[in-house]
């Protein structure tokens, strides 16, 4: 009996340790960035750095706000991220509705082809997209980024929402039809309200993706005023006279919305992806 309890305690202990070790490693970089951002330069380049700053200072945040267009980029990134997320939710819902509640030729094919797009190296699409958007005079604009981010996120959105819709019994559609609802009314009055968890999950995924995307702004954006945060941040890093302090401040502020979103809907995230992954069958 004693050895059994000892073993159980050892097991629980090691799990506890491993977990919090992992947590530590996962969380440390952002913590370190925060810590760095709150100290001034002499401390930053000191040969004996401490975990927490000795002299707290907000001067880095001040510098960052004044330099390099940070507020403008923050706003650009926000608009694009929200725009793309909403678009994916909208078109994903429509597409998922069409794939699950209707029967037309090429449905299975469409779905598989759509998922196949994730095989593509983004770099393959970059040049042609650049040329297309340039011809449409859309480069260097919100529209360009929203379009490419929506297109990138749509396969995932379709996949997840399709799984959600499939779990809603068809009898609800039938009841609505007998109650006199049209097909679109059925979608909006009956199906979508029940797919809200899925829609929220997708919104968050796409938001996070769009918020942090670097490649497309790199290719499509040239003017400083249209830059998004990822591009702006990296550009700043290549600027002359850049300092780690303000950079770390910028990264903290940049990461903040995502961190907040995440803590806000943490459990939903695991559930949402779990539903999709569990349903994957090749």
Partner 1 sequence: MAELVGRSANVRLEGLQKVFGKDTLVVDIAEMLIPAGEFVTLLGPSGCGKTTTLKLIAGLERPTRGAIFFGDQRVTDVAPGSRDIAMVFQNYALYPHMTVQANLEYGLKKHHVARDERQRRITWASAVLQLEQLMQRKPRELSGGQQQRVALGRAMVREPKAFLLDEPLSNLDARLRLLMRAELIRLHHTIDTTMIYVTHDQVEAMSMSQRIAVMRDGRIQQYDRPEVIYRYPASRFVASFIGSPGINLYEGDLISRDGQLRFVRAGLEVPLTATILERLGEPQQTNVTLGIRPEDVLLHLDGGPPDAVVGRVTVVESLGPETIVTLETAFGEVTTRVRGMEAIEFDAQVPLSFDSARLHLFDATNGTSVLRPGASTMGTREYRTLAPA
Partner 2 sequence: MAVESGSVALRARRRLRYMPSDLETREKWLGFFIFLPVILLFSIFFAYPLLYGIVLSFYKLNTLTLTGPFIGLDNFRTFLTSADVRNALGNSLYWTLASLTLNLVIGLLVALALNEKFPGRNLARGLALSSYLIPLVVSAAIWQWMFNPQYGIINYTLTTLWGLKPVAWLSDPHTAMPAAIALNVWRTFPFVVIVLLPRLQTIPEELYSAAKVDGASALERFVDVTLPHLRSLFVVLILLRFIFDFNDFTTLALLTGGGPVHATETLPLLVYRQMFGLSDTGAAAAVAVLMLLFLLILSIVYLQLANRGERVVGE
C-alpha span between 141 and 105 (Å, rounded): 37
* Residue 138: CB minimum distance to partner 2, A: 11
For partner 1, the closer CB: 62 or 189: 189
- On whether the CB atoms of residues 131 and 144 are closer than 8 A, the answer is no
Q: Which of the listed partners (partner 1, partner 2, none) does 179 bind, with a CB threshold of 5 to 8 Å by partner kind?
A: partner 1
C-alpha span between 22 and 27 (Å, rounded): 8
Is 247 a binding residue for partner 2 by CB under 8 A? The answer is: yes
C-alpha span between 99 and 92 (Å, rounded): 10
For partner 2, the closer CB: 6 or 12: 12
Map the footprint of partner 2 across residues 86-145, applying CB under 8 A: 91, 94-95, 97-99, 101-104, 110, 113-114, 117-129, 131-132
Q: What number of chain residues touch partner 2 (CB under 8 A)?
A: 92
For partner 1, the closer CB: 103 or 281: 103
Q: Which of the listed partners (partner 2, partner 1, none) does 234 bind, with a CB threshold of 5 to 8 Å by partner kind?
A: partner 2
Map the footprint of partner 2 across residues 168-207, applying CB under 8 A: 183
C-alpha span between 205 and 106 (Å, rounded): 28
* Complete DSSP assignment for 206-244: HHHHHHH--HHHHHH--SGGG--HHHHHHHHHHSTT--H
* Residue 185: CB minimum distance to partner 1, A: 7
Burial class of residue 60 in the structure, from the number of CB atoms within 10 Å of its CB (0-12 exposed, 13-18 middle, 19+ buried): buried
For partner 1, the closer CB: 200 or 258: 200
């Amino acid at each position: 009996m004693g050895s059994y309890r000892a073993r159980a305690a050892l097991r629980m202990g090691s799990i506890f340790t491993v977990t919090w070790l992992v947590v530590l490693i996962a969380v440390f970089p952002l913590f370190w960035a925060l810590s760095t951002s709150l100290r001034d330069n002499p401390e930053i380049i000191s040969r004996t750095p401490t975990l927490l700053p000795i002299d707290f200072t907000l001067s880095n945040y001040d510098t960052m706000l004044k330099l390099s267009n940070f507020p403008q980029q923050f706003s650009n990134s926000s608009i694009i991220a929200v725009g793309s997320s909403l678009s994916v939710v909208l078109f994903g819902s429509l597409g998922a509705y069409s794939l699950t509640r209707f029967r037309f030729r090429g449905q299975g094919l469409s779905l598989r082809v759509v998922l196949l797009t994730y095989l593509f190296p983004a770099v393959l699409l970059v040049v042609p997209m650049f040329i297309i958007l340039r011809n449409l005079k859309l480069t260097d604009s919100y529209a360009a980024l929203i379009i490419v981010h929506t297109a990138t996120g749509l396969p995932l959105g379709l996949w997840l929402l399709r799984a959600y819709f499939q779990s809603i019994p068809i009898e609800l559609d039938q009841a609505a039809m007998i109650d006199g609802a049209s097909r679109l009314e059925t979608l909006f009055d009956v199906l979508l309200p029940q797919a809200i968890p899925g829609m929220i999950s997708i919104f968050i995924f796409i938001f996070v993706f769009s918020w942090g995307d670097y490649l497309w702004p790199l290719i499509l954006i040239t003017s400083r005023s249209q830059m998004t945060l990822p591009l702006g941040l990296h550009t700043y890093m290549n600027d002359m006279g850049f300092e780690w302090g303000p950079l770390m401040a910028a990264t903290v502020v940049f990461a903040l919305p995502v961190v907040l979103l995440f803590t806000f809907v943490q459990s939903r995230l695991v559930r949402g992806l779990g539903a999709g992954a569990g349903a994957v069958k090749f």
